Amino acid sequence: MLHFDAKDVAARLGYEELVKALRVGLLSDIVTPVRASHPVAPPSDILLVMPSWRIGSLIGVKLTSVFPSNLDRGEPMIHALYTLIDGGDGKPIAVMNGTEITLRRTAALAALATDLLASRKGGRLLVMGTGALAEAMIRSHCALGAWRSISLWGRSADKAARLADTLRSDGIEVDHAGDAEKEARAADVICCVTAAQEPILRRGWVAPGAHVNLFGAYLPTMREADSDLVAAARLYVDNRQAALDEAGDVLIPMGEGRFGEAHILGEMRDLLRSAPQTGNDGVTVFKSVGFGALDLIAAELVARSA
């Protein structure tokens, strides 16, 4: 059985290659049950079980622990393990660092959503958040093309400044944003990757024609955007059923009576089949909570390289 640690996974999942794999793989026949979420220490600490498979081919299962209190100790909030199994005889093929798979497939999906939905690609990019996913978001978006400017905002100014320094040391010019509203108003693309319980981004801050990726909130009680923004936007999701089960950015305004299920115009598979026309008159929002097919596509790419 093959073993891939975080460095092995990272070396085999370049963002350009992973985006290409997602474009093809998400249009293929992958069975993806809704992930199981088990509260370990309610309300915050949870265990996620995410299976997916191609009939007669490969089976993948990801086990993910989400412990937000780890951040207070300077430790990662998310840990994950991914197992790849032969769909013909059920034998385990590989065990992989699922944390790195999650990080990279999530950032690649966001870059793909931006490529399909943003009307002003290559303009001003704002990333809201300071964790590992914030760094991955910037790297994945840069892998698909140059940006006129990149800003990074976080509730901890020190963390934002340190991450900006790290990226600049790798040749990626990033400014540390002190004022979230000011930066959001000027941005063409905004990526939110925080563990916010309440909105950090408001409708009045987002310019017409801007595109917003909401990737941080992972529970029905969490959200990063206010109801006005989601209700006014052309809304797309990674997976419709996953969003209707777990996406607080969608479920909370629905519970307020702001819109119904039909407000979701499509999921990533629909966008790949026929990307909508974008313009400068409205705002697009792409909401992701993650689903198993993304992990399987990434794990297949890792395994094929070996």
| Percentage, residues of the chain above pLDDT 90 | 82
The ranges of the chain annotated as CATH 3.40.50.720 are: 119-290
Mean of pLDDT values over 181-200: 95
Architecture of domain 2-101+293-305: 2-Layer Sandwich (3.30)
CB-side neighbour CA atoms (13 Å) of 235? 27
Q: Specify the pLDDT at position 56.
A: 84
* Residue 259 reports pLDDT greater than 90: yes
* Residue 86 reports pLDDT greater than 70: yes
Q: Is the dihedral of CA 192, 112, 9, 176 positive or negative?
A: negative
Q: Could you tell me which CATH class the domain 119-290 is placed in?
A: alpha beta
Name the least confident of 113-127, 244-258, 266-280, 282-296: 266-280
Question: What is the pairing mode between strands 36-41 and 45-53?
Answer: antiparallel
Question: φ, ψ for residue 197 (rounded to 5)?
Answer: -90, -30
Q: Are 52 and 32 in contact, with CB atoms under 8 Å apart?
A: yes
Q: How confident is the model at residue 43 (pLDDT cuts 50, 70, 90)?
A: low
Q: Specify the pLDDT at position 303.
A: 94
Q: How confident is the model at residue 298 (pLDDT cuts 50, 70, 90)?
A: very high
Q: How confident is the model at residue 204 (pLDDT cuts 50, 70, 90)?
A: very high
Q: Specify the pLDDT at position 301.
A: 96
Q: What's the Cα-to-Cα distance from 298 to each of 1, 60, 83, 271, 301, rounded to whole Å? A: 18, 10, 12, 19, 5
Q: Specify the pLDDT at position 198.
A: 95
* Residue 279 reports pLDDT greater than 70: no
DSSP strand E in the chain: where?
2-4, 36-41, 45-53, 58-66, 78-86, 92-97, 124-128, 149-153, 175-176, 189-192, 211-214, 234-237, 264-267, 284-287
Q: Are 16 and 144 in contact, with CB atoms under 8 Å apart?
A: yes
* Residue 277 reports pLDDT greater than 80: no
Q: Specify the pLDDT at position 210.
A: 96
Q: Specify the pLDDT at position 19.
A: 98
The overall average pLDDT reported for the chain is 94
Q: What's the Cα-to-Cα distance from 239 to each of 26, 50, 148, 289, rounded to whole Å? A: 10, 14, 31, 8
Which of the pair, 41 or 204, is modelled with greater confidence?
A: 204
Mean of pLDDT values over 15-40: 94
* Residue 257 reports pLDDT greater than 70: yes
Which of the pair, 275 or 112, is modelled with greater confidence?
A: 112
Mean of pLDDT values over 74-98: 93
Mean of pLDDT values over 172-180: 91
The ranges of the chain annotated as CATH 3.30.1780.10 are: 2-101+293-305
Mean of pLDDT values over 16-42: 92
